[in-house]
Every structure is written in structure tokens, then in C-alpha cells.
């Protein structure tokens, strides 16, 4: 029997919950994994929530997590900007959770879109025309573009819903400017953040997620073990046909219990 | 002295008005042209207003026009769909003016995005995330895509504002589906609509507009005379550098008076 992973890198949307509903058995399986001494981080391309909001949601579903165990593309983007870019001002096309993470990391927000050095684009489920137009102005005035992720869709209770790629497409196709950095999975910034928190080697980690293109691709690229769950954006047939082959295909994260045995 | 055009094809945004303000001298010049016996149509890539709304706006600015003299990308799109496609249902990403023109042309609207045969995308200055998501669903379910126009920006009182290309970019980049038809200038559907209404040959017509890529390009492509006005999206320097050379460059449409003399 192969050695079981010491660290778990768990995706959220489509893996632990889907909209407001938790995947049956998810909380039990995660609690068992924690009780067995495994280190756990949650790694999500969500850029529109801050970590405290996610922590509260997990807690409501019976899963205890520290804020530092939650790694979102919003918080990883904020850490990146604060670490490598000094004296910048940022404009956001995104929700309050994104701005909260930027504030926590000490990244200054611009007062006007035309003054921004960076435009940070994230999922925005309440986006308005005027917000799109402000982002357009920022990019048109020369702001570099960072996207928290570039997913085309995310699983919502009513089906696949348009994701950050839509916001990005609106801005890049009207300004002719490219995206300079995409933070989210399968990007190296997310992998680095997860490994840094777990303090483990890649081959000691198992990535559990519902997306071949972000979760499984990240795991394989960085030499981690991978488990695809079928509770989100990927069907078994699609998984078979993909070039991103996971080590395991599970009906849901509830299978984690069996894996731990 | 060369013969003066018998018919005028006049753009609206950036040429006759800009936001809620009329270009000084525009109404006078247009009234003089009408009094001289010239036929006039208004040809606009605006897809978010219906013709009655535009007629009222022109009338408020002192310019009398029949509904049939106003050719918008919304009304031309509706005519096109009703003429060539029978038994289709349409979903719109656009404003009430677009739906009004589709109704006037007898084009049925779908009840759900997933049931639509065509998705019609237009400028939507009050677009919401849920509307973007419904359009995403329509395209994802196989609806063909018609865009009233593909302009990147339009002149608003507070500067260039993000236009239909933004809405298009959001949908095409998330669904991977291309736009099947772009109606607006410099497209042939708009030229055909203008010439059909004027009942003139192309070389008897003068196109007056502020955009090299839509107004001047349309005129040159179809063998019309062209006058670029500098009250909208184009500067004199940009006009000099462009491959779309207008026959005339005017500070504003008020110069039309001198042209008529």
C-alpha cells in the first residue's frame, strides 16, 4: 500500500461545498483527516471572498480552520503585490472581500481608476456597468492587469456560472491590453502559498479538487498526488478524456475517509 | 467645384450629440441641409435605444426626423433576423430599446436563455452579473451570437466608455464561441439599410461621422463620400495617421453649412 499523504490541499467550490450546500460527508472526512494528524490547507481560486468569510462558512458547515489555513486567490494576490511592488496604487474590479485582503496586506487602493498602477480583476457577482467602465479606464490609462484567476465558469447551485474570464474578456478585448499575471491555480503562486503553509515537500501532499484544469493540473505540475472529485465541474467521462490524469477519481470528498484507512 | 452629395448619412454619438449635449451648430446645419432638399438618414451603432427614443432626443435638440430615417444597429439587427430567420427565439444581452425593436420586427424572445437560437448582444449601460450569466448560458447552450456592433468604446460626457466589445468579450472568452454576425458600421447591413432608405447610389451620398473605423470605413468601403468630425472619438492627428482617409476633416458637423454653400 503506498504511503498516504501527510498534507492535504483541498479545493472549496465544487469540492467541499457547492453554493450554500455542503457536499455530504465532506465535514466528516475532513475532521477525520485532521484527527489523523494530517495538515490541511484550503486552496481556492475564489477572489471575491476574504478568508474570514470563508472561515465562517466552513465553520457553519462543521469544519474548523484557521485563517492562515485558507489560501484564496484574493489573499495570495494581495501577498504577492505587497511583497514585490512597493509604492503602487491598485484599482479593483471585484468584490469587498478582495479589497479587504488587499487592505490586510497593506496594499494601497487608488482613488481614481486613471491613477492606478495595477488593476486587480476578480470574480464579481454583483458587477455593474460603471464598475466595468472604471476598470476599462484603469487599463486604458496604463494600469497593469493582475487576475486572481482565469476560470471560465464556476459551479453554482443553478449550474455553471460565468467566472473571472468574463470580466477579463470585457477589459482585454476593449483595451487591447493583456493580462500580466494570473494568480490562481494552476499558477505557481498558489502552489508556493500552499507548500509554504504546510511546510511539506510536494510529494507528501495530496490535492483534492473538482477541476482538471486548476486543481489536478496544479498538483501534477508541482509533483503532488491528485484526487479528482466528481461533485463539481468535471464528469467521469471528461476526466477519462483529459490530458490531466489524476491519481484518484472519487465520487466525492467523502471518499477521503476510505483513503485514510 | 465637385458636385455636392444628394444624400447625407449622419452618425449620432460624437457627431450630432455627445451624451445629453448637442454639438453646437449641429441642429442648424442639419436643418439647412434638409431645407436644401437633401435626403438625410441617421445611422448609429447604438443598439441600446429604440428609434422612438432617438427621435424624441433629436426633436428635443431641434432636429425633426421620421422614425424610418433613424437606422440603429438594434433596428437593423431586428430587421435582419425577421427577414432571414423564421421560427427562431432570441435572448438578449442588452437594454429595453433593443427588445422593443425586436418586438416591432416580430422577432420572438425566448423565455429561458437555454432555449434561445440566437443571442443578441448590444450595449448595456446597466448590465448586471446575472444578465451576463444568462447570456453565458444561452451561448453555452448553443445559441448563435449576433452583436449589434463591436465598438470598443463610445464617447460619453465623462470620456470614452466601455462599449459592446466588452459584453462580447465576456461571453466569447468564457464560452469559446465566436460572434457569428456583427451588424453595425462598417458592416454591409448598415450600408444597405441607409442606401435603401435614401434610394440613392453610393456616390451620391456623404457619410458624416466621428469614427474612422466605423463611419469613414463604411463610407469608403461602399464608395460614398466621407467627412470626419473631430467632436467625438478621433483627433486630427489620429485621422492623419489612419489608413481610413476621409474626403473631408471638419472641426464639427457645423461645417456642413459651408459644404452646402
Judged against a pLDDT cut of 80, whether residue B1 lies above it is answered with no
Judged against a pLDDT cut of 80, whether residue A2 lies above it is answered with no
Residues of chain B with C-beta less than 8 angstroms from the C-beta of A162: 129, 132-133, 136, 170-171, 174
Residues of chain A with C-beta less than 8 angstroms from the C-beta of B171: 162, 166, 169
Residues of chain A with C-beta less than 8 angstroms from the C-beta of B134: none
Domain covering A74-182, topology: Rossmann fold (3.40.50)
The CATH number, out of the four listed (3.40.50.1000, 1.20.1250.20, 3.10.20.30, 3.80.30.20), of the domain defined by the range B7-45+186-260: 3.40.50.1000
| Interchain contact, B170 vs A174, CB within 8 Å | no
| Interchain contact, A174 vs B153, CB within 8 Å | yes
Interatomic CA distance for residues B162 and B185, integer angstroms: 17
Residues of chain B with C-beta less than 8 angstroms from the C-beta of A171: 162, 166, 169
Judged against a pLDDT cut of 50, whether residue A1 lies above it is answered with no
Quick one: DSSP state of residue A152?
S
Cell of B200: 440613392
Q: Hunting for cell 487591447 — which residue is that?
A: A176
- Considering chain A, tell me which residue range(s) the CATH 3.40.50.1000 domain(s) occupy: 7-45+199-260, 74-182
Q: Which of B153, B159, B173 sits opposite A165 (nearest CB)?
A: B173
| Interchain contact, B169 vs A165, CB within 8 Å | no
**Phi (first) and psi of residue A13, to 5 degrees:** -65, 125
User: What confidence category does residue A242 fall into, taking pLDDT thresholds of 50, 70 and 90?
Assistant: confident
Instruction: Read off the pLDDT of each residue in A144-162 and give the average, rounded to a whole number.
Output: 90
Domain covering B76-182, topology: Rossmann fold (3.40.50)
* ipTM for this prediction: 0.81
How long a stretch of residues is chain A? 261
Superfamily of A7-45+199-260 according to CATH? HAD superfamily/HAD-like (3.40.50.1000)
Reported as a single tens digit per residue, the pLDDT across A78-114 is 999 999 887 899 999 999 999 999 999 999 999 999 9
> Which residue in B61, B64, B68, B56 sits closest to B18, CA to CA?
B61
Q: Give this prediction's pTM.
A: 0.85
| Interchain contact, B152 vs A173, CB within 8 Å | yes
Task: Give residues 158 to 177 of A whose Cβ lies within 8 Å of B.
Answer: 159-163, 165-176
Reported as a single tens digit per residue, the pLDDT across A168-186 is 999 999 999 999 999 999 9
Task: Show Cβ contacts of residue A123 under 8 Å, excluding neighbours closer than 6 positions.
Answer: A46, A47, A48, A94, A95, A148, A149, A154, A163, A164, A167
From A129's Cα to the closest Cα of chain B, the distance in A is: 5
Reported as a single tens digit per residue, the pLDDT across A20-62 is 899 999 999 999 999 999 999 999 998 888 999 999 999 999 9
B6 touches chain A (CB under 8 A): no
B141 touches chain A (CB under 8 A): no
Interatomic CA distance for residues B27 and B108, integer angstroms: 37
User: What confidence category does residue A243 fall into, taking pLDDT thresholds of 50, 70 and 90?
Assistant: confident
- Considering chain B, tell me which residue range(s) the CATH 3.40.50.1000 domain(s) occupy: 7-45+186-260, 76-182
Interatomic CA distance for residues A151 and A169, integer angstroms: 11
Cell of A102: 488587499
* Smallest CA–CA distance from A175 into chain B, residue: B152
B126 touches chain A (CB under 8 A): yes
Amino acid at each position: 500500500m503506498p504511503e498516504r499523504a501527510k498534507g492535504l490541499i483541498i479545493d472549496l467550490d465544487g469540492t467541499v461545498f457547492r453554493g450554500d450546500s455542503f457536499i455530504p460527508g465532506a465535514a466528516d472526512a475532513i475532521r477525520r483527516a485532521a484527527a489523523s494528524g494530517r495538515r490541511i490547507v484550503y486552496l481556492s481560486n475564489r477572489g471575491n471572498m476574504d478568508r474570514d468569510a470563508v472561515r465562517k462558512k466552513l465553520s457553519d458547515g462543521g469544519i474548523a480552520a484557521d485563517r492562515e489555513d485558507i489560501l484564496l486567490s484574493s489573499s495570495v494576490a494581495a501577498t504577492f503585490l505587497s511583497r514585490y511592488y512597493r509604492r503602487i496604487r491598485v484599482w479593483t474590479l471585484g468584490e469587498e472581500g478582495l479589497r479587504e485582503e488587499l487592505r490586510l496586506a497593506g496594499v494601497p487602493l487608488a482613488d481614481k481608476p486613471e491613477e492606478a498602477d495595477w488593476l486587480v480583476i476578480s470574480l464579481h457577482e454583483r458587477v455593474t456597468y460603471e464598475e466595468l467602465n472604471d476598470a476599462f479606464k484603469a487599463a486604458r490609462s496604463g494600469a497593469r492587469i493582475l487576475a486572481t484567476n482565469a476560470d471560465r465558469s464556476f459551479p453554482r447551485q443553478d449550474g455553471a456560472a460565468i467566472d473571472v474570464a468574463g470580466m477579463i474578456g470585457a477589459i482585454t478585448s476593449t483595451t487591447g491590453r493583456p493580462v500580466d499575471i494570473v494568480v490562481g491555480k494552476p499558477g505557481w503562486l498558489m502552489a508556493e502559498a500552499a507548500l509554504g503553509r504546510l511546510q511539506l515537500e510536494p510529494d507528501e501532499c495530496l490535492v483534492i479538487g473538482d477541476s482538471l484544469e486548476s486543481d489536478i493540473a496544479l498538483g501534477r505540475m508541482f509533483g503532488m498526488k491528485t484526487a479528482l472529485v466528481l461533485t463539481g465541474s468535471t464528469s467521469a467521462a471528461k476526466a477519462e478524456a483529459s490530458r490531466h490524469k489524476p491519481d484518484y477519481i472519487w465520487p466525492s470528498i467523502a471518499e477521503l475517509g476510505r483513503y485514510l484507512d
